[in-house]
Amino acid sequence: MGLYNEEVYNKANINNRNFLDDYILELKSRGLSEGTIKQYKNDLRGYICWIYNNQNDMFLLDLKRRDFRNFILYLQEMELSNARINRFQSSIRGALEYALLDDDDYPEYIQNPMARIKSLDSKAVVKEVVFLEDKQVTFLLNYLLKSKQYQKALYLSLSYDSCGRRSEIYSVTKDGFLTEGVYKTLPVKGKGGKVFPLHYSNTTKDIAKLYLEARGNDSVDSLWINERGKEKRQISKNMLYLHAVSLRSILEAEYNKDIPMTSHSIRHFGLQNYQDGTHSALKFMGKDKLELDMLKILAHHSNISTTEGYLKNVDNDLLDDLFQG
């Protein structure tokens, strides 16, 4: 049975097609095989066509549990095998889990309705969390500054200092960075409709000065623009993701191993290093480290348990200390 139709897909909701492009980019960054990525892509393109024909071309992330259940019932009525239906479920569930976990891109998405729909094989894709040490972040910043990649350096430094989500970082404008004594951005919109500025250290401010001086005068308000060509314009949010992924090759050349960091990784290791007392911005703050309640505020989390989930699990280390003999 073929759900995918090229003509239909090209007319389908642009938000669904953009979401699929984002997800495929994420799968590539995880190092999945071309065959596996093709499977996910084919399944999801077919489902997007089905949404166009049967669910008023709604945005995938606006669909409810009953909508996904109706699709599964349709597949059963078409007498597909359980294995084939489970594959569809797995593809859709994985895409929704990506939207749920990566609150950089989809901050309003707070629940995966597919999580409660059982299947014969409900294994979820596990996303590896990368924690860089402060000295590794410093190495990256020095490398980028030495090679005059100021925009990437600013993106990394601002993300590392503020622990902001990528969607929040993307919303930052260039205004205010050159104001003496000010170490925060203009307010941005965060998850759940919250509005707040992102705070940063003197390191980020110094990099911003280098970047804006090299950038020169233009009429684009966004902090992030294309750096090639005569006409300056804001880059896509995907480009910030690619900025982060591009750092992997620099790390691999220096440390002789693949460190699969993404834009969301920066949020994890930023918070972790603040807690460990190793974050370079702590000296600027005059602090030895940040406690969990302050990390919650910095991350703009509604629940402290969410903040805990961003940090390393040290339970086994604590037990080792108790039973040293």
Question: Smallest Cα–Cα separation from 273: which of 252, 255, 295, 251?
Answer: 295
What kind of architecture, by CATH, is found in domain 134-315? Orthogonal Bundle (1.10)
Only one residue has tokens 């993106």, namely 155
Q: Do domains 6-116 and 134-315 have the same CATH topology?
A: no
pTM: 0.65
Round to whole Å and give the CA distance between 247 and 141. Answer: 10
What's the average model confidence in pLDDT over 74-80? 71
Round to whole Å and give the CA distance between 160 and 281. Answer: 9
pLDDT > 70? residue 301: yes
pLDDT > 70? residue 117: yes
What's the average model confidence in pLDDT over 195-220? 96
Round to whole Å and give the CA distance between 286 and 267. Answer: 21
Q: What is the pLDDT of residues 118-142, one digit of tens each?
A: 764 444 344 568 899 999 999 999 9
Other C-beta atoms closer than 10 Å to the C-beta of 72 total 18
Q: With respect to CATH, is domain 6-116 assigned 1.10.150?
A: yes
> What is the C-alpha end-to-end distance of the chain, expressed in Å?
63
**Amino acid letter, residue 265:** S
Q: What percent of the chain has pLDDT over 90?
A: 55
Other C-beta atoms closer than 10 Å to the C-beta of 84 total 13
The top-scoring range by mean pLDDT among 94-98, 144-148, 216-220 is: 144-148
CB-based contact 97:27 (threshold 8 Å):
no
Alpha carbon of residue 17 to chain centroid? 18
Round to whole Å and give the CA distance between 290 and 298. Answer: 10
Q: Give me the long-range contacts of 113-119 (CB less than 8 A, separation at least 24).
A: 113/63, 113/64, 113/65, 113/67, 113/68, 114/65, 114/68, 114/89, 116/65, 117/65, 117/68, 117/69, 117/72, 117/89, 117/93, 119/85, 119/86, 119/89, 119/90
What's the average model confidence in pLDDT over 4-19? 93
Phi, psi angles (nearest 5°) of residue 64: -100, 175
What DSSP state is assigned to residue 196?
A: E
Least confident of 145-149, 192-196, 287-291: 192-196
Domain ranges of the chain: 6-116, 134-315
Confidence of residue 114 (pLDDT cuts 50, 70, 90): confident
